[in-house]
């Protein structure tokens, strides 16, 4: 079965031009399915029946996997079988009737503008690490990029003359501007910190960890949590909270959804629509509190 999974991931890479993260996620979900089926002595994709897939779905639900995780797994399995049918690897689509659980759309956690300001004020020292942390936090909020995009961003994709970065997701590229505060922090970091932190002077990575290599997602998450605590922010925030806050604050201050969609890299504007709904909800709350007949 691993042979069929490898072939599918290669197809995603070469034909669909998906991002590395998508490839990794698809492979992980399919290997999890293969491990489950292997315990039932099902070794080949052609042996899988609709009942086997329903049993796997039940296993995920019984083990209390999040509905969003189960829904993603179902989408991956359906995509895999669609590919195998098209390629003639299997004769029938065993996943055709597989149904994902219903997911309630959760309102994302966002910070107030005051909370963001307090968070960004926390790295105040002039040590190489604090200069790096300041630049990373400022750039993340200024652009709304994903944490993986931040930690893999290269110097060659940063333009300090025109104040923008270029992010690449699979075959797609998007240009995202940033403001003066982020530029100041970046210049400070590049002039007084980056060279001191690099382990390889030829590296094109913009940001590096304290060992001079690429920072992990977990490492940056801990960094955000540390400064959130220092800022007195009680909410449990993650790097993605700053991405949500970036989008919500843009919409709140009059940015059009299409522009926000392009900066976030959403393929469907309906995904971006949630930030408009957030703004409407906030306006209703303000009205209810402030209007004499609210």
Domain range summary for the chain, segments of one domain joined by +:
2-87, 113-289
Q: Is the pLDDT of residue 38 over 50?
A: yes
DSSP 8-state symbol, 201? T
Instruction: Compute the average pLDDT of residues 45-61.
Output: 91
- According to CATH, the topology of domain 2-87 is DNA polymerase; domain 1 (1.10.150)
Looking only at the bridges linking them, the beta strands covering 164-169 and 158-159 are antiparallel
Q: Per-residue pLDDT tens for 106-120? A: 667 788 889 999 999
pLDDT of residue 68: 79
Residue 118 has which token pair?
């307090």
- In the numeric block, which tokens belong to residue 98? 């597989």
According to CATH, the superfamily of the domain at 113-289 is Intergrase catalytic core (1.10.443.10)
Write out the catalytic residue numbers. Answer: 146, 168, 240, 243, 266, 275
164: helix, coil or strand? strand
Q: Where on the phi/psi map is residue 236: left (φ > 0), alpha (ψ -120 to 50), or beta?
A: beta
Nearest to 217 by CA among 148, 138, 136, 169: 148
| Residue for token pair 């993650």 | 238
Neighbours of 58 (CB within 10 A): 10
Q: How far apart are CA 137 and CA 126, in angstroms?
A: 15
CB 9 within 8 A of CB 28: no
Q: Is 287 exposed, middle or buried (0-12, 13-18, 19+ CB in 10 A)?
A: exposed
Same fold, 2-87 and 113-289: no
Tens of pLDDT, residue by residue over 236-277, are 888 888 888 888 888 888 888 788 888 888 877 777 777 776
Distance CA 100, CA 103 (A): 9
Q: Yes or no: say if 74 and 200 are a contact pair by the CB < 8 Å rule.
A: no
Give the confidence band of 199 by pLDDT, cuts at 50, 70, 90.
confident
In sequence order, which residues have a C-beta less than 8 Å from that of residue 280 and are 6 or more positions away?
none
């Amino acid at each position: 079965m691993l042979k069929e999974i490898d072939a599918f991931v290669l197809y995603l890479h070469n034909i669909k031009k998906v991002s590395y993260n998508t490839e990794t996620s698809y492979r992980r979900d399919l290997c999890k399915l293969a491990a489950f089926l292997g315990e039932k002595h099902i070794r080949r994709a052609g042996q899988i029946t609709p009942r086997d897939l329903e049993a796997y779905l039940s296993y995920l639900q019984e083990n209390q996997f999040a509905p969003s995780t189960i829904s993603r797994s179902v989408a991956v399995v359906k995509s895999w079988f669609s590919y195998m049918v098209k390629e003639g690897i299997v004769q029938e689509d065993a996943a055709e009737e597989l149904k994902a659980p219903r997911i309630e759309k959760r309102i994302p956690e966002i910070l107030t503008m005051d909370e963001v300001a307090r968070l960004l004020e926390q790295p105040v020292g002039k040590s190489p690490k604090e200069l790096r942390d300041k630049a990373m936090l400022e750039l993340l909020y200024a652009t709304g990029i994903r944490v993986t995009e931040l930690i893999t961003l290269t110097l060659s994709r940063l333009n300090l003359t025109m104040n923008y970065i270029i992010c690449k997701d699979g075959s797609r590229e998007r240009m995202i501007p940033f403001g003066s505060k982020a530029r100041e922090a970046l210049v400070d970091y590049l002039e007084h910190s980056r060279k001191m932190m690099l382990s390889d002077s030829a590296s094109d990575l913009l940001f590096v960890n304290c060992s001079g290599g690429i920072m992990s997602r977990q490492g940056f998450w801990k960094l955000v949590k540390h400064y959130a605590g220092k800022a007195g922010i009680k909410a449990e925030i993650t790097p993605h909270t700053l991405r949500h806050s970036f989008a919500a604050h843009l919409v709140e201050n009059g940015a059009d959804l299409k522009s926000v969609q392009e900066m976030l890299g959403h393929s469907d504007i309906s995904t971006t629509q949630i930030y408009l709904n957030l703004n409407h909800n906030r306006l209703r709350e303000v009205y209810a509190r402030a209007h004499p007949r609210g």
